[in-house]
Structure 1
Amino acid sequence: MGTGNTAKVISRGGGKVAKVFHAHIGSDFIEYEFTIYKEIAKTPLQVPKLYSFEKEKYALIFERIDGNSLMAKMKSNPLFMPIHMRRMAEWHADIHQCRDLLLPLLNDRLASRISQCSDLTEREKEKILFHLDGLPDHERVLCHGDFHPDNVLMTKKGHVIIDWADASAGNRLSDTARSVLLIKYGGLTSSPVQRMFRRLLAGYYVRCCRRIGPFDMSELQKWILPVAAARLSESIGEREKEALLKLIHARINE
């Protein structure tokens, strides 16, 4: 049904799928993801049911979700894109209403990824980590960690939010900043029209989020630097990397 960097998803029948991890993925990583999903299952959010962890097969067994992604719906009829973005902002706010889950701390995850980034100098990483250390860390709501239109499936029964492996507890504005950067730069191409459109779309998403849960733009902007730097540690395209590095260097030198 699909293959990613860490696993492939295959149909199991009986309304189930197996997320089978590749041989190079350690059992500790799978156990960690299993623990994350068990915490997410405690929330009232629309998420796939987790049935079991088959250790001998390196597989997590989930409920099968049939539907198209929110991204596919947006592409099929761009005129409805503003409506879909408003709904996405509402669902993001629902995520941030969840608290008191046993999850990794978001700031710790950001710091770890920034430290591992090979595209930044040690001095640049020190500056970014110092900046991160000064950001508020007391809110600790549920943060998805990778919330974008491809991680929302539209089914006959409504929306289902998938891919919770990067979930953590932290400041909601960090999670919002991550989504804004993904909308603006994720999978970026060289098309100037696309760049302009995505910049406008990211701005619209921020406005939608502020209507639902008001916040000061300056507070959101403080999270852009560390979130962008952490993104660099992932496997991303060259266009996106160039854009993020340009953004990071501009922020560091302000």
Structure 2
Amino acid sequence: MRLLAHGRDADVFDLGDGRVLRRFRHDGDVAAEAAVMVRLRESGFPVPEVFEAAGADLIMERVPGPTLLAAIRNGDKGIAEAAAVMRDLHERLRKHHVLHLDLHPDNVLMGPDGPVLIDWTNAADGPPELDAAVSALILAQEALSGSGRAVLADELLKAFAPHLDVTTELDRAVQYRRANPTMSARELADLDRAADLVRAAR
């Protein structure tokens, strides 16, 4: 198997024949995540087709195309257009009564038929304002990171935040991110500053 991506807690491998394997590096059960994806796909929301789900392994459709982040960086998508893609996915999710809770440009694939949202590990029920707040907070944390993507994240936050309610559930979003076991010490330390950045962008 060829490694395609190495995430914080999972790896993605190319299985050929238009399929990928997403495997957690820790014990886990992907059944609930797969069930959400199947339900959303059946109702018309753009997610990869699920072929198998067992234990820590999820086999699904390989969506051809770059991530939204890559499309911004290579000039195929401008900041305003990318923010509109994220907002549209949030609005569409609202109709399906499910939260993604990790909707950011690296979890959106620009497939041949349009954007496809991946990585449903954190999917849950709750108010859609929480989902929007988490997305804004992720962008704000990246904007404060000092990485090569910091300026891009700041610009995207300023284009994304004014068009959705990102503040009503912001305190809860901070608590949610603080409980994320994959967060680094620096990311945790920057959370309150990131929340202030979200409020300023709103």
Q: Taking structure 2 as the reference length, what is the TM-score of the superposition?
A: 0.80
Unaligned runs of 5+ in 1: 99-140, 210-214, 250-254
The corresponding residue for 2:64 is 66
Describe the SS at the equivalent of 1:203: helix
Higher relative contact order (CA closer than 8 Å, sequence separation 6+): 1
Deviation at 1:170, TM superposition (A): 1.5
CA distance in 2, matches of 1:39, 1:25: 24
Unaligned runs of 5+ in 2: 197-202
Residue 10 (str. 1) matches residue 13 (str. 2): yes
Describe the SS at the equivalent of 1:206: helix
Q: Which of the numbers 161, 170, 178 marks the counterpart of 1:232?
A: 178
CA distance in 2, matches of 1:149, 1:94: 16
CA contact (8 A) 2:11 2:24 kept: yes
Q: Number of residues paired by the alignment?
A: 191
Q: Percent identity?
A: 25
For each residue in 1:22-77, what CA deviation from the matched residue of structure 2 results, as whole angstroms up to 9, or x when unmatched?
A: 3x414xx233333333333333111100012245xx42210111210111111222
CA distance in 1, matches of 2:109, 2:77: 19
CA distance in 1, matches of 2:78, 2:38: 34
Deviation at 1:248, TM superposition (A): 7.2
Task: Judging by fraction of residues, say which structure has more helix.
Answer: 1
Are residues 199 and 2 of structure 1, via their aligned partners in 2, closer, same or farther at CA, if it must alter by over 3 Å? closer
CA contact (8 A) 2:19 2:60 kept: yes
CA distance in 1, matches of 2:5, 2:87: 27
Describe the SS at the equivalent of 2:109: strand
Letter in 2 for 1:82: A
CA distance in 2, matches of 1:10, 1:49: 16
* RMSD between superposed Cα atoms in Å: 2.7
CA distance in 2, matches of 1:79, 1:45: 22
For each residue in 1:225-249, what CA deviation from the matched residue of structure 2 results, as whole angstroms up to 9, or x when unmatched?
A: 1211220122223443222145679
Are residues 12 and 82 of structure 1, via their aligned partners in 2, closer, same or farther at CA, if it must alter by over 3 Å? same
Letter in 2 for 1:21: F
The 4+ residue runs of structure 1 with deviation greater than 6 A are: none
CA contact (8 A) 2:22 2:57 kept: yes
Deviation at 1:179, TM superposition (A): 0.7
Are residues 84 and 5 of structure 1, via their aligned partners in 2, closer, same or farther at CA, if it must alter by over 3 Å? closer
